Amino acid sequence: MFAAIDNFPALLIWIPLLGGLLSFFVKDAKQAKSSAIVFAASSLLVLLVSMNYAGKENLQVNQVSYEWLSAIGSNFGLILDGLTRSMSLLTAIVFLLVFLLVPSDQYKAAHKFYGLMLLAQCGLVGVFLATDALVFYLFWELALIPVYFLASIWGGEKRIKATFKFFIYTFIGSVLMLVAILYMYNKTNATSFGLSAFFNLNNTASEQYWLFGAFFIAFAIKMPLFPLHTWQPEAYEQSPAPVTMVLSSVMVKMGLFGLLRWIMPLFPLAVKEFNTSILVLIAFGIVYASLVAIYQDNIKRLIAYSSIAHIGLMAMGILTLKEVAVSGALIQMFNHGINILALWMIAFIIERQTGISSISKLGGLAKKAPVLSIFMVIAVLANVALPLTNSFVGEFMIFNGIYQSNKLLAAFAGLSIIFSAVYSLNMIKNVFYGTESQAASVVKDIRGVEILIFIILTVLILIVGIYPQPFFQMFSDALGLILTKYNS
């Protein structure tokens, strides 16, 4: 079984699932942590090996399909192509680094914590890999449930309300998507849920408008796009740090991914019809979120709003339908995951050591924690999209595309970059430099594993920033499918 190349996508799902279930039976916290690390690492390993095969035997696309509910035409279909490879790579890296960072005594009942985390990984990878709409929907929900429990059990004071809001929002979006899926399934004469079968449906324009609406609401809630973003700052603030990391680096990508994999190929008429108005709405949302971020005093809320702005920018890039902007968004999805992970990790370390997440109460940490502050500067510069960092590549291409489609919009959205510099640099200034606060006396510098994690993140930031070519090669096939109905 392990020898067959075909099994790579399935392995990516089974490994975290197995790890998650096993973890519930490990009572010792340290053992639970190490087993979680082993399972996350082996996921990453499988993925790297699969890429190696893709290069050698020219297997760009690794597709499998297992019989599941053949009576209703649903197969357990999975695919590893450029798009899903980069997303699963991001997922694997994020989970591994999160497991490495968080000490095993951080949370009570650690074995359950790691178990649920791995189950969440399973759900997320499943969302990215599925080629069958029903399977996609199942994983879409399955990714949500463990995250809901993680956030509600180990989260902050107002966790129950915040996470429930998050759950209800997402659930409403996803049931609407289910209706659209069933509608298309019915149009295939109740024979198939496959992406390719849906692709060949030739829905009329008015049908596409409704279907697009149902899918888009689900994805827009997940991303989240203005004005459906209200669940996000609270959920990020109240969730335990590892969950926030997973939420903001991987889970919000589910929305963008859905846009690329499902909406773009399936509803070209609707996308062409609505993209201008949505672009304007998103541009407004981006500037709004950036402005709100400037006035945040809580680090977590600041990062949350900054994330809304950046995700919005990627969504804009995709909806311009320009090839350069779409590939920019593709690479930026990966980059944003890495950058925001670095930011959350720094916020986590600061809060764990000082117990404070309010910017105004922090200050002058750089003297006591020089190494941490260096990494912080790198992460922030990457978030601001400075040249030589990974984001520069992606956001430059996205803006290029927006500029091609509408100059005014590009200028307006460009404001968000300026604002982003304002709040990010302000944060550095107030947290690491300036007058020394009480918090500065308790803070300790990072060491050991933590330094290793940040070195890995920095390397990823710089490598993609300097030499993004391999990524673009990886995306070439996915790009074809996404834009095929728009090129005529």
The residue ranges that bind other proteins (CB under 8 A) are 69, 71-72, 137-138, 141-142, 145, 149, 152-153, 159-160, 164, 167-168, 171-172, 175-176, 178-179, 182-183, 185-186, 190, 210
CB of 157 to other proteins, least distance (A): 12
CA-angle at 59, arms to 54 and 65, nearest 5°: 110
- Length of the chain counted residue by residue: 488
- Helix/strand/coil for 26: coil
Report the C-alpha dihedral over residues 18, 23, 26, 28, rounded to 10 degrees: 150
- By beta-carbon proximity to other proteins, the closer residue of 123 and 233 is 123
CB of 158 to other proteins, least distance (A): 12
CB of 46 to other proteins, least distance (A): 24
CB of 258 to other proteins, least distance (A): 16
CB of 67 to other proteins, least distance (A): 11
CB of 306 to other proteins, least distance (A): 29
Tokens standing for residue 354: 């000082």
- By beta-carbon proximity to other proteins, the closer residue of 148 and 334 is 148
- By beta-carbon proximity to other proteins, the closer residue of 13 and 329 is 13
- By beta-carbon proximity to other proteins, the closer residue of 168 and 459 is 168
Tokens standing for residue 100: 């490495």
- By beta-carbon proximity to other proteins, the closer residue of 136 and 419 is 136
CB of 428 to other proteins, least distance (A): 36
- By beta-carbon proximity to other proteins, the closer residue of 221 and 289 is 221
- By beta-carbon proximity to other proteins, the closer residue of 37 and 172 is 172
Dihedral angle sign, alpha carbons of residues 390, 144, 347, 158:
positive
- By beta-carbon proximity to other proteins, the closer residue of 188 and 426 is 188
The residues with which 79 forms a beta bridge, in sequence order, are 63
Please list, in sequence order, all residues whose beta carbon lies within 8 angstroms of the beta carbon of residue 455, skipping any fewer than 6 positions away.
none
- By beta-carbon proximity to other proteins, the closer residue of 142 and 235 is 142
Alpha carbon distance 254, 127 (integer Å): 7
CB-based contact 100:346 (threshold 8 Å) = no
CB of 214 to other proteins, least distance (A): 8
CB-based contact 36:100 (threshold 8 Å) = no
Max Cα–Cα distance, the chain, nearest Å: 69
Whether omega for the bond prior to residue 224 falls within 30 degrees of 0, making it cis, is yes
CB of 262 to other proteins, least distance (A): 17
The residues with which 65 forms a beta bridge, in sequence order, are 77
CB-based contact 293:302 (threshold 8 Å) = yes
Q: How far is CA 334 from the centre of its chain?
A: 8
CB-based contact 398:318 (threshold 8 Å) = no
Q: How far is CA 421 from the centre of its chain?
A: 22
Alpha carbon distance 306, 285 (integer Å): 11
CB of 220 to other proteins, least distance (A): 16
H or E stretch covering 74:
strand 74-80
- By beta-carbon proximity to other proteins, the closer residue of 145 and 371 is 145
Structure letter (DSSP) for residue 67? E
